[in-house]
Chains A and B, each alone.
Chain A
């Protein structure tokens, strides 16, 4: 330990000669860079997994079509397909189901396209209104008033054997317009 202050000077004087001490210093650095990467890379992979994992939409049943009267818009919800047992009530996702006629449906996400607040349906004026910043949408989801940049997010809909299905499982936002 006591010799250390003198050693670096000696090394600078004769840089070509590699002493055992220099070798160990280099080896110490090198090994720790490797060890650090072996810890750091999996750590980044763990933390960033949600960043890189692509979203997959799953087919979700909203129940028999009979519960949705023609010409009306009704509230419905589904259990998020990727839910964990400790999600609690947050796994229940609400939607607005508009049955235009027969098997023609529109299913809207609850989230306002402005900043994601839950829009409410008003049957009488046939408008969706948002409680946060006053966005309003017509019954077909088109933008009617307020700050939202587009109409309501719309799910892909399928009717099979009298049952209504949507493709869902992600929180809709302006970057993710698949639903």
Chain B
């Protein structure tokens, strides 16, 4: 036994002499960090990197089976999901790993921002982090294209439509993005190359820089209110902190990272097993137009913004928005590189975070529910609650059928059932007079199409009669205020 240990020691010493392993270990895993940095708030960076490693490994596994060809990708996805042994599991872990990666990256960024870690002298740490965020979102979008189903196809269409708004060279940009004039085989091939070679390779390179900066400029100390960053004194102060309470990252500060890593892996596995992989949904067949294209979770807020913006600012916001956000993020450590670090003394930073999360959360919720989209099948599938039909005249009942068959319900709900693009019509008789209803139906307006060319006078009469009867019990019908004293027209 002694001999074996002796031999092993000899081998290690030989390798250490040739590879300088001990020195490498001391200057990386063993580098000193402030004891205060061993905090639960400091686990998100390593957790994001862990997610990336999981994505790298599961991604390579998936690439063993996946076929990046427009003709075969969908079939290979179905094979992966239903036939390949544990293929569903790998797909699920890869999908949930991406969700966790984007989410934890956001938490990491929030923590770094609130703790002032981007300030002097960690500008490049922050900037490389911003680049990593862009790359991660790029991986998320291209990954959504890898799941080459109907959502991927129309998602590419949305991307191309945004590119087509670029001034002067929009057409060229679309062709460059798609690899030709339409969404086809070359589109999938280039997104595959981006997703599996270009973007992960770039992430590896920039992560190296990011970690290198952590080693050279140190991890941020846990900020205390009143400890102000000054360019002249900070480096000495940080050195003093390290001297006073510096501990080697391994094994003194890594424990919480390790616990967090396990929690993240358990979380991904739990979601993967419980929810399974996403899709693939319908095939990427442009002719199958009975589809509701929706982006993945992390881009839902952009989808919502695109629905809610006024038309005049769409092109500016879709093209300029990302550039402005990027520039602000890049410039942040330069215009706000000194001063207080603690969020307790930075109310604006706290407000920025709260507003950002509120906006993103609200827009994501709106995107998921998409109240602006017509309910495409409401006209043939949705019920008219009976209280809106009982006691109606034959003319009014005829109007209710016209309302159904003319697809009014796709945009207008009755009793809360139906589309939500236009107002709910349950009480429209109390809001609009007959004349107003006729005008609205015939001329449209206020974001409603005109139906004048499409309805006969008889039909308009019946439809308006039905709508005029729609009002809660005990509420008088709307009346024309320019005709004082006259009873409402019946």
Chain B, range 22-69, C-beta contacts under 8 Å to A: 69
* Known A89-B284, A129-B410, A144-B444: A134·B372 in contact at CB below 8 Å: yes
Q: Determine if B454 and A94 form an interchain contact, defined as CB atoms under 8 angstroms apart.
A: no
Contact B161 A89 (CB under 8 A): no
Q: Are B286 and A94 in contact (CB under 8 A)?
A: yes
Closest-by-CB residue of A relative to B73 is A88
A167 within 8 A of B: no
Chain A residue at minimal CB-CB distance from B402: A124
Measured in the bound complex, the distance between the Cα atoms of B206 and A172 in whole Å is 37
Is the CB–CB distance between B179 and A90 below 8 Å? no
Which residue of the partner chain, among B161, B410, B448, contacts A114 with CB atoms under 8 Å? B161
Say whether A171 contacts B182, CB under 8 Å.
Answer: yes
Inter-subunit contact A132/B158 (CB<8 Å): yes
A51 proximity list for chain B (CB < 8 A): 172-173, 175-176
Q: How far is the CB of A133 from chain B (nearest CB, A)?
A: 4
Is B490 in the interface zone, CB < 8 Å from A?
A: no
Do residues A173 and B283 form an inter-chain contact, with CB atoms below 8 A?
no
Residue in contact with B164 in the complex, picked from A91, A126, A176, CB distance below 8 Å = A176
Whole-angstrom distance between the Cβ of B108 and the nearest chain A Cβ: 31
Contacts of A144 in B (CB 8 A): 444, 449-450
Across-interface contacts of B285 in A (CB, < 8 A): 89-90, 92
Is there an interface contact between B311 and A131, defined as CB atoms closer than 8 Å? Answer: no
Give the residues in chain A near B72, CB-CB below 8 Å: 86, 88
Min CB distance B235 to A, Å, is 30
Task: Check if B153 sits within 8 Å of A90, measured CB to CB.
Answer: yes
Q: Assess whether B293 is interfacial by the CB under 8 Å rule.
A: yes
Q: Kindly report which residue of chain B lies nearest to residue A142, judged by CB atoms.
A: B449
Cβ distance B159 to chain A, nearest Cβ, rounded Å? 8
Residues of B within 8 A of A12 (CB): none
Residue of B nearest to A121 (CB): B289
Q: Which of B8-16, B89-97, B183-191 contacts A (4 or more CB under 8 A)?
A: B183-191
Contact pattern, A 145-175, Cβ under 8 Å of B = 1, otherwise 0: 1110100000000000000000001110111
Which residues of A are in contact with B by a Cβ distance under 8 Å? Answer: 48, 50-53, 55, 75, 77, 80, 82-94, 110-111, 114-120, 122, 124-127, 129-134, 136, 138, 144-147, 149, 169-171, 173-176
Query: 5 closest Cβ contacts across the A-B interface?
Result: A173-B164, A175-B170, A88-B71, A116-B161, A144-B449
Which residues of B approach A to under 8 Å, CB–CB? 69-72, 74, 153-154, 157-158, 160-166, 169-176, 178-187, 283-287, 289-293, 303, 306-307, 309, 311, 314-315, 372-374, 376, 379, 405-408, 410-411, 421, 444, 447-451, 453-454
